[in-house]
Structure 1
Amino acid sequence: MVTEPPHFNGERFQQTIDKRRQAFGISLWSLSSALAPAVGPVLAGVLIDLLDWRALFYFNLPIAAIAIVIALKNLPETDLSEKTRFDLWGLFFSFVGSVLLLAAFAEAGAWGWLDKRTILMVLAGAILLALFVKRELAVEFPLLNFSVLAYRKFTYSIILNAVLSIALYAGAFLIPIFLQTSLGLGALHTGLIMMPSAFVMALFTPVTGKLYNRAGPLPLILAGLAIMGLGTYMMGSLTLQTTALYVIIWSSVRYLGIALCNMPILNVGMSAVPLDIAGYASALNNWTRQCIASLSIALFSGLIAYRSAVHGANGANPDAASALAAGDVFMLSLIPLIISLPLALLLKEKRG
């Protein structure tokens, strides 16, 4: 029997969406979080071509200001019965550990995966993150309450969400590199090629919310993972002869798979957690997604540098080596998708 996490302080979170429309509501939320990496390259391409790369950062300022105003106006307040203390040591462990891992993965392609600098930074980062988890399980007011992992379906959903983040950012990172480095396309042209996949995700994510109440989560999750796996496999054969149409088709297939399984995974996991500790679960879910996304990009950059060097040593010119390396990394990103298929079976819900 699962017990309530020991550090729960009595805060009661409001439920703002009717239970019957919760799946559809979560599908809209997941659309916003998953669509950003797909739409981002298009907007980035426009800003870079028309203005300057610095405009990417300035463009975020009015967006952040609008988000703050909307949050203050619309987010429900919670009744905190006691004042909480900020865990400064927890922040230190998590920040420094994450930076060390990011730096190690990003530089591993240049240093070598077995280089002592890479190994030492990975070990140090892993130790600091382990200390972070240990501390959060012990302090009275944790930054992240890892005890919600006692709910097994939520834990399974966290792992599957990590797999989705790897797949999502593989496309968002590798496709622009292939189009710009290997094919020599501009930023705006690259963004326009990636736009159809964003539209596919935008179209099918709300549809998934409707299908969820009819089919249940498992068929959608398995179908999404399978479709995503197919698209990833086809993107593993990138060469200098690969056309823009090929990239559009198979990247759209990948995003269709993400749209089908993203919301069901999230909804099953959050539904397994009692409402009054859902805030802890949501925070852990978001933290995991962002960490995996950052680590994935750092890891992919190291892998593509390493595979480019290997293909270059075998006689490929720089453009061809970069294209082949991008395909290699797509194939490597297929591994967690395959491993996750049996885990998805554990999210089966009893219907009736």
Structure 2
Amino acid sequence: MTAFHISEAQVQWVTNGYMLVNALMIPVSAYLIKRFLFRNLYILATLIFLAGTLLGALCHAFILVIVARMIQAVGAGMMMPLVNVLAIRYAEPAKKGAIMGIIGLAFNFSPIIGPTVSGVILDYLSWRYLFIIIIPFILTTLVASLIILPKIPHNESPHFDSRGFVLVSIGLWCILMGLSNISTASFLSWQVGGLLLIGLVFSLIFVKSQLGHTDPLINLHVFNHGQFVTATLVNMLIVATMYGNTILLPLLIQTIQHRSALVSGLVILPGALLTGTLSRLSGRLYDRISVKRLVAIGLSIDCAGTLLQALIGTSSSPVILAIFQAVRQLGLVTMLIPLQTHALGLLPYEMVPDGVATFNTIRQVAASFGTAIIIAVVALVNRTFPGNGHIGIEAGFLVCLLLLVGAVIAARRLQSQFKRSI
């Protein structure tokens, strides 16, 4: 924000733009997985991610930073479903939870440890190193992909639903833009209400078009499976709070408490390390314990941590904030991987690519919309109570808590995975 002299509403597009493009690429990947070799797709995705990273390291304008992040999102949006489909389709049933735990370590640990690493970089180096530092890892991944990945054949030649892609792109972009404008415009203005209405109309047209399409962009028939619907809904609400929280904590520490980015990163570090340590264990627990029990335990812990953040977090020291965040992360790591494994592991073999695409698309959309809504609430409260920025942050934490309460209600419909074959 300081380097480019931009507002909170503008800076959130670095995150929201990435997550929304990522979400749009995930259903496209369902088509690509059916159409092309797994190995070739993964290498292509890595090259695209590398291109976005290089652009980010070299650019001089904020708009190019957003473009660079969106290019990265194209590559990342392809990688996530590829890895998940490989695990769900080819792993032994008794080991799916453990393998998904390893995969979850990468996907869930990265966005959590990111603020810590970026805090250190921003305090001691240029913001460009946020891009430069990951280039060696991308190159290592590229070389390993060329050497290790097998050539898994494909036996389908589906038609790409370009009309559906245009419809869902317009719908999601309009909704996200409308939510992002809540803090600066009236709800009845075209910038908010108008865009939200347009987005909803295009989204409804998209849903109708998918139901009657022979090769849909997103196979909505996965929603005929009740446990997939329940697990996806619970995951959506949880993810919205997880990404919203990663925005609230830096805002609290850096803009309200006037501490450095390094302190902000260190507050998040214990919870991130906890996530990294326990991710694989949570996958193994799914192979032994009912998903309903795991989610109940995780949500109880997460709600407790979020309530503490809302009630006394804004006036707490960095040490106390770190403890509250670690409590939240303990709850999250207990349930996120079991929820994903449960949602996808019960689907028929032929529907796994569509299930992965749908689950991850909704996850990314929830992350984008959750962040936009929470930031909008913070901005609205701050505008109502000027000079009391901590009230806006507290309101943001309360929104997270309300979303978690919704997840608690939805999770009551989860069933034990041991009642049916995987």
Per the TM alignment, residue 69 of structure 1 is displaced from its structure 2 partner at its CA by: 4.7
Match of 1:305 in 2: 379
Shift in CA distance, 311/84, structure 1 to aligned 2, threshold 3 Å:
same
* TM-score relative to the length of structure 2: 0.74
Q: Distance in 1 between matches of 2:417 and 2:367?
A: 32
Q: Distance in 1 between matches of 2:380 and 2:309?
A: 19
Match of 2:230 in 1: 156
Q: Distance in 2 between matches of 1:291 and 1:197?
A: 24
Listed one character per residue, the Cα deviations across residues 247-280 of structure 1 (whole Å, up to 9, x for unaligned) are: 1111111111001111221121112201222111
* TM-score relative to the length of structure 1: 0.88
AA matched with 1:288: I
Moved more, 101-110 or 209-218: 209-218
Match of 2:416 in 1: 349
Per the TM alignment, residue 34 of structure 1 is displaced from its structure 2 partner at its CA by: 1.6
Listed one character per residue, the Cα deviations across residues 190-244 of structure 1 (whole Å, up to 9, x for unaligned) are: 1111100101112222222233333221111101011111111111125653211
Specify every segment of 5 or more residues in structure 1 that has no aligned partner in the other structure, as ranges. 1-6
Equivalent positions of 1:91-170 (< 5 A) are 91-170=165-244
Match of 2:111 in 1: 37
- Aligned CA RMSD, in angstroms, stands at 2.6
Shift in CA distance, 114/236, structure 1 to aligned 2, threshold 3 Å:
farther
3-state SS, counterpart of residue 369 of structure 2: helix
Q: Determine if contact 2:183/2:376 at 8 Å carries over to the other structure.
A: yes
3-state SS, counterpart of residue 347 of structure 1: coil
Match of 2:391 in 1: 324
Q: Distance in 2 between matches of 1:341 and 1:239?
A: 23
Moved more, 62-71 or 285-294: 62-71
Q: Distance in 2 between matches of 1:66 and 1:351?
A: 39
Match of 1:4 in 2: none
Per the TM alignment, residue 328 of structure 1 is displaced from its structure 2 partner at its CA by: 0.9
Per the TM alignment, residue 72 of structure 1 is displaced from its structure 2 partner at its CA by: 5.4
Shift in CA distance, 66/124, structure 1 to aligned 2, threshold 3 Å:
farther
Per the TM alignment, residue 65 of structure 1 is displaced from its structure 2 partner at its CA by: 4.7
* Structure 2 residue 407 is the aligned partner of structure 1 residue 340: yes
AA matched with 1:85: H
Per the TM alignment, residue 165 of structure 1 is displaced from its structure 2 partner at its CA by: 0.7
Q: Determine if contact 1:11/1:276 at 8 Å carries over to the other structure.
A: no
Listed one character per residue, the Cα deviations across residues 17-72 of structure 1 (whole Å, up to 9, x for unaligned) are: 22221111112222222212211111212222233223334445554454455455
Q: Distance in 1 between matches of 2:169 and 2:145?
A: 26
Moved more, 40-49 or 247-256: 40-49
Q: Distance in 2 between matches of 1:281 and 1:262?
A: 16
* Matched positions, count: 339
Q: Determine if contact 1:304/1:326 at 8 Å carries over to the other structure.
A: yes
Shift in CA distance, 115/44, structure 1 to aligned 2, threshold 3 Å:
same
* Structure 2 residue 354 is the aligned partner of structure 1 residue 287: no
Match of 1:3 in 2: none
Q: Determine if contact 2:171/2:198 at 8 Å carries over to the other structure.
A: yes
Listed one character per residue, the Cα deviations across residues 293-334 of structure 1 (whole Å, up to 9, x for unaligned) are: 11111222211111111221xxxx2xxx22221111111121
AA matched with 1:266: Q
* Structure 2 residue 345 is the aligned partner of structure 1 residue 278: no
Equivalent positions of 1:250-289 (< 5 A) are 250-289=324-363
Q: Distance in 2 between matches of 1:38 and 1:65?
A: 22
Taking only the aligned residue pairs, the percentage that are identical comes to 23
AA matched with 2:116: V
Match of 2:56 in 1: none
Match of 1:249 in 2: 323
3-state SS, counterpart of residue 333 of structure 2: helix
Q: Distance in 1 between matches of 2:93 and 2:218?
A: 26
Shift in CA distance, 74/335, structure 1 to aligned 2, threshold 3 Å:
farther
AA matched with 1:337: L
3-state SS, counterpart of residue 214 of structure 1: coil
Q: Distance in 2 between matches of 1:351 and 1:17?
A: 17
3-state SS, counterpart of residue 278 of structure 1: helix
Match of 2:285 in 1: 211
Q: Determine if contact 1:170/1:297 at 8 Å carries over to the other structure.
A: yes
Q: Determine if contact 1:237/1:327 at 8 Å carries over to the other structure.
A: yes
Q: Distance in 2 between matches of 1:213 and 1:153?
A: 17
Shift in CA distance, 80/285, structure 1 to aligned 2, threshold 3 Å:
same
Shift in CA distance, 189/206, structure 1 to aligned 2, threshold 3 Å:
same
Equivalent positions of 1:70-89 (< 5 A) are 70-71=144-145, 73-75=147-149, 77-89=151-163
AA matched with 2:398: M
Q: Distance in 2 between matches of 1:22 and 1:161?
A: 18
Q: Determine if contact 1:228/1:253 at 8 Å carries over to the other structure.
A: yes
